[in-house]
Amino acid sequence: MTITARALADQLHGDIEGNGDVLLTNVAPIARAGATDVTFAESEKSCAEAFASAAGVVLVRRCAPTSTKTLIRVENCREAFAAAMTIFHAPKQYGAGIDASARIAPDVRLGKGAFIGPNVVLGAGVSVGDRTTILANCVIAEGVSLGDDCMLHPNITLYSNVKFGHRVIVHSGTVIGADGFGYARHASGIAKIPQIGGVVIEDDVEIGANVSIDRATMNATIIGSGTKIDNQVQIAHNVVIGRNCLIAGMTGIGGSARLGDCVTLAGGVSVVDHVEIGANAVVGAVSLVTKNVPPGQVVWGSPARRAHDAKRESVALRRLPGLLKTLRVRGLADANSQPEPETHQNGD
């Protein structure tokens, strides 16, 4: 698409400064931006780079310096740039329709404008909201409920007793509602504990590729509204995750763990069973959370402890080889400086 700088500024609720008739066709990073591209700059350094670049328009904060470039001044240029990306690269829209290869149970309820792609299977009693899109090869088991404006990418499996809110996005390869890891040892082996609960995914959740979210043993595994889950995350049975949490890739959350609102788990975090992580807490990458984390605390390490303490310990550990070497040299020097012990011969 082509849009003028002035029209783009209007859509971004920004103020134009310079030539508002510049024609724009795309967004680009500073180093690659050309005369028909819009880029953004937040810091003093990036502003200098953007003003010297070939970009046609630069998104900047309202307090940014002036330039001979055409500028669009906004409150938050990073958010505005994300909005500009959506303007130039709007998600593909699927019109209402059902592919001839789809297998749909007789009592399935389809909302207005829903799209059902090739080889999709919808089991008995499934409910699909308005404008929800289900792409190729998804399998939706009996009784699943999907809200309005959801997007299911290809090759997703939803077991029974899974409920979605509105505007949920799920990426390829994800499985939601598989049995939780519930077993009990007895004299003759290991007995399976039935997993008869479900999964609730609230509004505006986005779930990455190849994520596993297990059903609860009896109640529900819950993912709170606005939460974003990266690729290859494991969420065990009975877990409750609050609103607007960020969970990065390769994270594993043990059964019955609870996360408050706005918790951040960096990549590769492991959370053991039954742990509670308070609202607004942050867990650093590749940490092992073995006990409760208070609200707002930043923790890191294995086991996870306050990040300040963990960093001091890490620095001390790196210094340990040199310290040991110093101690060995000093100990040798002290031994060499000791006077020779007196000797006594018989008859003295």
Q: CA-to-CA distance for 304 and 307, rounded, in angstroms?
A: 8
* Kind and range of the H or E run holding 214: strand 212-214
Other C-beta atoms within 10 Å of 325: how many?
Answer: 10
Query: Of 264, 230, 236, which Cα lies nearest the Cα of 250?
Result: 230
User: Distances from the Cα of 161 to the Cαs of 51, 122, 255, 317, in angstroms?
Assistant: 55, 13, 18, 50
Torsion sign over Cα 247, 250, 251, 252: positive
Task: Check if the beta carbon of residue 159 is closer than 8 Å to that of residue 142.
Answer: no
Strands (E), 232-271: 234-235, 240-241, 246-247, 252-253, 258-259, 264-265, 270-271
Among candidate residues 13, 237, 308, 344, the one labeled active-site is 237
Q: Letter for the amino acid at 279?
A: A
Q: Mark whether 166 is an active-site residue.
A: no
183 secondary structure, DSSP code: E
Q: Are strands 175-178 and 212-214 parallel, antiparallel or unpaired?
A: parallel
Q: CA-to-CA distance for 262 and 258, rounded, in angstroms?
A: 12
Could you list the active site residues? 237
